[in-house]
């Protein structure tokens, strides 16, 4: 059996940075909490909890030291942290922070901002708070007409399009093409593809591997946006594709019939999860 592991599988810079600095903070502070999951991976969350990190859903439940997760937080959360006089450890991914700065700048310069992303994703919820009053989120093509009507009513002729860092590159291109073709001709569009380069590389590599194997395994949190995008790409290009969080979900007897298996992992998937899957497959 041939096993192909994606070169870009596993932690991206933003995730690795957040985890490493959290571990450092755990050694420094006795009372440390994180607002929401640091990253979307159950194994990482459980490991950090065992080392003393407390996860909270509401900033009001923080006591002394609070971590801002890699996905970032809405602007109002920072104001609450200041009002509560908490010590803030901001581990927002630098690439997400950059999008916040872009959104603020263009909003102040009178642009209508379109954010392409998943409406319920914590990163999108955080980013939209920096976009000012004239903004919209587009997740699906069906929502485009409604947003274009809002832009027309606003009278704004300058539009900025940005994206959630982990959004599907293919879907981003589809949505932006439709907007460009249907928006009023006197409108100026500035397109800033803010999908993270690591996300693009993983999606492209997943596509290439999935086309050339009989079975495809995607490893990562099942509630992780970037991991689910990888699974969708794999499933479109390899009819035998699965999404797992750990090696215990594999059926080795079933996998014996395949001559080639591809492996890709999401940006918040630890190296040990990937190694465990490879070791399990090597038993066949």
**Active site positions, annotated:** 123
Question: Cβ distance 229 to 211 under 8 Å?
Answer: no
Q: Burial letters for 209-222: b for 16+ Cβ neighbours within 10 Å, e otherwise?
A: bbeebbbbbbbbbe
* Backbone torsions φ then ψ of 56, nearest 5 degrees: -125, 155
Q: Single out the residue of 162, 229, 240, 244 nearest to residue 198, CA to CA.
A: 229
Q: Is 114 helix (H, G, I), strand (E, B) or coil?
A: strand
Q: Single out the residue of 70, 64, 77 nearest to residue 32, CA to CA.
A: 64
DSSP conformation letters of 27-85:
HH-SSEEEES-SSS-HHHHHHHHHTT-EEESSGGG--SEEEEPTT---HHHHHHHHHTT
Tell the residue number behind the tokens 């102040």, with chain if given: 108
Q: Is 275 helix (H, G, I), strand (E, B) or coil?
A: helix
Q: Is 182 helix (H, G, I), strand (E, B) or coil?
A: helix
DSSP conformation letters of 215-270:
EEEEES-TT-HHHHHHHHHHHHH-SSEEEESSGGG--HHHHTT-SEEEEEE-TT--
> Which strands, in side-by-side order, build the sheet including 158-163?
135-138, 112-116, 158-163, 188-191
């Amino acid at each position: 059996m041939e096993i192909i592991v994606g070169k870009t599988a596993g932690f991206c810079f933003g995730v690795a940075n957040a985890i490493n600095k959290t571990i450092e903070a755990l050694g420094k502070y006795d009372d440390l909490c994180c607002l929401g999951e640091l990253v979307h991976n159950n194994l990482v969350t459980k490991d950090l909890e065992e080392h003393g990190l407390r996860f909270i859903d509401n900033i009001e439940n923080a006591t002394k030291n609070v971590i801002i997760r890699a996905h970032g937080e809405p602007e109002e959360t920072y104001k609450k942290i200041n009002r509560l006089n908490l010590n803030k450890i901001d581990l927002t991914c630098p690439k997400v922070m950059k999008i916040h700065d872009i959104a603020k700048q263009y909003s102040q310069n009178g642009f209508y901002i379109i954010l392409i992303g998943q409406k319920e994703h914590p990163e999108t919820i955080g980013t939209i708070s920096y976009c000012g009053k004239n903004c919209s989120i587009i997740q699906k093509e069906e929502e485009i007409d409604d947003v274009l009507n809002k832009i027309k009513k606003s009278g704004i002729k300058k539009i900025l399009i940005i994206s959630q860092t982990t959004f599907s590159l293919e879907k981003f291109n589809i949505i932006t093409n439709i907007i460009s073709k249907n928006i009023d001709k006197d409108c100026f569009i500035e397109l800033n593809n803010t999908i993270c380069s690591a996300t693009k590389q993983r999606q492209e590599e997943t596509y290439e591997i999935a086309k050339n194997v009989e079975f495809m395994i995607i490893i990562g949190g099942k509630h992780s946006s970037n991991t689910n995008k990888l699974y969708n790409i794999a499933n479109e290009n390899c009819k035998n594709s699965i999404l797992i969080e750990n090696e215990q979900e594999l059926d080795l007897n079933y996998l014996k019939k395949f001559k080639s298996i591809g492996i890709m992992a999401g940006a918040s998937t630890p190296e040990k999860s990937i190694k465990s899957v490879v070791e399990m497959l090597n038993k066949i």
